[in-house]
């Protein structure tokens, strides 16, 4: 028996720890699971590597990727463009390799329209207060920016019902284990077998 690849989408509010969670998962990746590196116009942060963390590009190049239909989805997140390369994802799914995306909520909802049998995982903070603390602790954003992100929280969480799973990121190791369990369970679904 064989099956097509499954698209796993990790998404959730900014600051909830999606990136750390993805890093933890990919430290000892599940077999046949590949991470799709996004393209962005934001500047690389210290320690980030081209092609591993993101494909860094400029706004004009990004717009030409949109125009030529090379992105599965794209969104403007906090004043920068972010997008998922279409060919990489579709080619891997077609040959039976599972693909992991870590994207924002707008992007996840767009993908759900294109690939409805993907598995959509919403990562939640233990509380909105804890989310505020994490945004402050990571020191990447101004106070105004943090307030703006927290103000989006209620609107973002209203989309929870469009997701298949929710994982509270209280403890990173436990949250990563839960995602591994979701991956294993989805791979065993009879309806996915061909
Ligand atoms: P950061 O700049 O902190 O790496 O990411 C900012 C936000 O953009 C995060 O919520 C991250 O999940 C999201 N993001 C990263 N890549 C993509 C992508 O390809 N598409 C969309 N829609 N969001 C993305």
Say how far apart CA 19 and CA 186 lie, in whole Å: 22
The crossing angle, in degrees rounded to 10, of helices 143-151 and 128-138 is 150
Say how far apart CA 87 and CA 144 lie, in whole Å: 37
User: Quick one: which H or E segment has residue 143?
Assistant: helix 143-151
Q: Which domains does the chain have, with CATH numbers?
A: 7-192 (3.40.50.300)
Beta carbon of 15 within 6 Å of any ligand 1 atom: no
Beta carbon of 92 within 6 Å of any ligand 1 atom: no
CA nearest ligand 1 atom 14, residue:
103
Beta carbon of 36 within 6 Å of any ligand 1 atom: no
Burial 87-97 (b: 16+ CB within 10 A, else e): eebbebbeeeb
Q: Report the predicted TM-score, pTM, of the whole model to 2 decimal places.
A: 0.94
Tens of pLDDT, residue by residue, the chain (194 residues): 788 999 999 999 988 999 999 999 988 878 889 999 999 999 998 899 999 999 999 999 999 999 999 999 999 988 899 999 999 999 999 999 999 999 999 999 999 999 999 999 999 999 988 888 888 887 777 888 888 888 888 899 999 999 999 999 999 999 999 999 999 999 999 999 87
Give the Å distance between the CA of 22 and the centre of ligand 1. 12
CA nearest ligand 1 atom 2, residue:
42
- pLDDT score recorded for residue 171: 95
Residues 6+ apart with CB under 8 A from 34: 92, 97, 98, 99, 100
At 79, list the tokens: 């004043």
CA nearest to 75, candidates 63, 83, 64, 67: 83
- Ligand 1 site-directed mutation target among 82, 89, 123, most atoms within 8 Å of CB: 82
Say how far apart CA 103 and CA 9 lie, in whole Å: 7
- pLDDT score recorded for residue 143: 87
Can you point out the beta strands (E) in the chain? 7-11, 33-35, 39-40, 55-56, 71-77, 80-85, 98-102, 119-124, 165-168
CB 103 within 8 A of CB 82: yes
- pLDDT score recorded for residue 145: 82
Give the Å distance between the CA of 57 and the centre of ligand 1. 14
């Amino acid at each position: 028996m064989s099956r097509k690849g499954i698209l796993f989408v990790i998404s959730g509010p900014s600051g909830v720890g999606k990136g750390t969670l993805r890093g933890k998962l990919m430290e000892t990746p599940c077999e046949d699971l590949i991470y799709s590196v996004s393209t962005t116009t934001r500047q690389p942060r210290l320690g980030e590597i081209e092609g591993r963390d993101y494909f860094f590009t400029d706004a004009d190049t990004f717009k030409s990727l949109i125009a030529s239909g090379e992105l599965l989805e794209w969104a403007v997140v906090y004043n920068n463009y972010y997008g998922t390369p279409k060919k990489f994802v579709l080619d891997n799914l077609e040959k039976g390799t599972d693909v992991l995306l870590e994207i924002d909520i707008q992007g996840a909802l767009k993908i759900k329209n294109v690939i409805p049998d993907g598995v959509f995982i919403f990562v939640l903070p233990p509380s909105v207060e804890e989310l505020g603390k994490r945004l402050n602790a990571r020191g990447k954003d101004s106070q105004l920016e943090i307030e703006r992100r927290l103000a989006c929280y209620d609107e973002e969480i209203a989309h929870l019902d469009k997701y298949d799973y929710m994982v509270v990121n209280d403890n990173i190791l436990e949250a990563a284990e839960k995602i591994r369990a979701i991956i294993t369970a989805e791979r065993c679904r009879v309806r996915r077998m061909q």
